[in-house]
Chain A
Amino acid sequence: MKNEPTKSSGIPVIIIILVLVGVVVGAWFLYNGSKGAGNKTVSPTPGTSQTKPPATVNPNAPQGATPPNVLGEPAAPLTLEEFADFQCSACASAHPVMKEVRSIYTNKQIRVIFRNYPLPMHDKSYDAAVAAEAAGLQGKFWPMQGQLFSNQQTWSTAPNYRELWNGYAEKIGLDMAKFQSDVAGIAAKSRVDQDIARAKGMGVGSTPTIYLNGQSIPYTEVNVPAMRRIIDAELQKTAGQQQSAPANVGK
């Protein structure tokens, strides 16, 4: 079979080149436009939904793990309570934001509570939460939390994820025999279960969900500039309340 000669044999090549150039240039502009946006804009694929968290904390919700995983002084006027899943990529993305926010304010200004809320669609998140709580039983919850979030991409798809977690535990200086015993034991699991009960009692439907003094912070505001704005406003509000009511001491 012969190829039919065409009068305009250059036209298809021109079309192909034009499409290629159009795709590359269009993609380049879109890519740079997204990167240069600066603000942390959530852009889910159409068809996914984001569950809105309850606007305020339910005072009748279970207490959660007691004592909670907390940084900051009990008398601090502001409390940031975060519900997160160690295998949730948005939570890993929020982790450096929360870490930076913690570093900006003093322990006297703000206390930060982390609540485990492993979601059912993540096959390793419950075990990851237990591992973090096991580290917490040796006083190293926050370093282990950092290791799990920072290395989430690595362990969440690795068949040898438990070996990786052991590596993180060694890195942060845990007693490995105790760590492995606590991972298998009841105490760490119980703390995770208590946090889950609190999340469910509060109607938390997605992770990360963050509350500041009982008011939820929209995920679109979970970036350092927006959180600073929100926290500063709340600090001013609580300072104003304390000034106007000098008799309210030591809440």
Chain B
Amino acid sequence: MNDGTNEAAGSAIAKLPLAAAVVALGGLVDSVYLTLHHLTAEPVPCSIIAGCETVLTSKYAEVGGIPLAAFGAAAYFIAFSLAILSAFGNRSTWKLFGVQVVIMAVFTGWLLYLQAVVIGAFCQFCLISALTTFGMLAIFLISRFHSKR
């Protein structure tokens, strides 16, 4: 494992958590927007062509009356926090970050399945969230690859 004896590699690893923090921040903003939209937006007419926000008004959009996006926002905030702590040198938080993004990626996969197969419709901002989760996972995997070299 790289304990920082290779300065170049150590520097690269420090930047990766920073990049992950930026991506997590994007996911956080996206999730907060979706949460607010869920809570405040008036329903849009249902179009015979484009549907009517099928994903965001489906039963899967809430858990116990709480918008699913709110849970996403919490997850992104935690990921952001772990990434920022890691960027400033805390290695144990980077491992926790890794565990979290794997869980988030698995859950995201399930949400994509729901949209594609069960609901039969996609939500644009939900896809952005999926992208940010997989982006964080990719960054973490790259960091593991660097640390093993």
Contact = CB atoms under 8 A, between A and B. Distances in A.
B43 interface: yes
Interface stretch (A41-49, A60-68, A108-116): A41-49
A20 interface: yes
Contacts of B87: 12
Contacts of B139: none
7 contacts: A6-B88, A23-B29, A26-B32, A31-B39, A49-B50, A50-B45, A90-B42
B40 interface: yes
B49 interface: yes
Q: Report the contact-size class of chain A (Cβ under 8 Å from the partner).
A: 35 or more
Interface in A34-61: 34-35, 40-51
Interface string B78-90: 0011001101111
B77 interface: yes
Interface residues of B, number: 47
A93 B57 CA distance: 13
B31 to A, nearest CB: 10
A190 interface: no
A51 B47 contact: yes
A205 to B, nearest CB: 5
Given A6-B88, A51-B45, A85-B46, 8 more contacts: A4-B89, A12-B87, A23-B28, A27-B35, A45-B123, A88-B52, A90-B45, A119-B48
B148 interface: no
Contacts of B42: 40-43, 90, 93
Interface in B38-71: 39-54, 56-59
A208 interface: yes
Contacts of B77: 19-20, 23
A51 to B, nearest CB: 4
Contacts of B1: 1
B56 A45 contact: yes
A8 interface: yes
A219 interface: yes
A130 interface: no
Which secondary structure characterizes the binding site on chain A? loop
A206 B53 contact: no
A7 to B, nearest CB: 9
Interface string A147-191: 000000000010000000000000000000000000000000000
B92 interface: yes
B91 A1 contact: yes
Contact of B45 (A26, A30, A206): A206
B93 to A, nearest CB: 9
A93 B42 CA distance: 8
B40 A48 contact: no
A27 to B, nearest CB: 5
Most chain B Cβ neighbours within 10 Å, of A48, A91, A205:
A48
B44 A8 contact: no
Most chain A Cβ neighbours within 10 Å, of B40, B48, B92, B124:
B48
Contacts of B40: 31, 34-35, 43
A46 B124 contact: yes
A9 B50 CA distance: 50
B74 to A, nearest CB: 11
B36 A31 contact: yes
A42 B53 CA distance: 12
B25 interface: yes
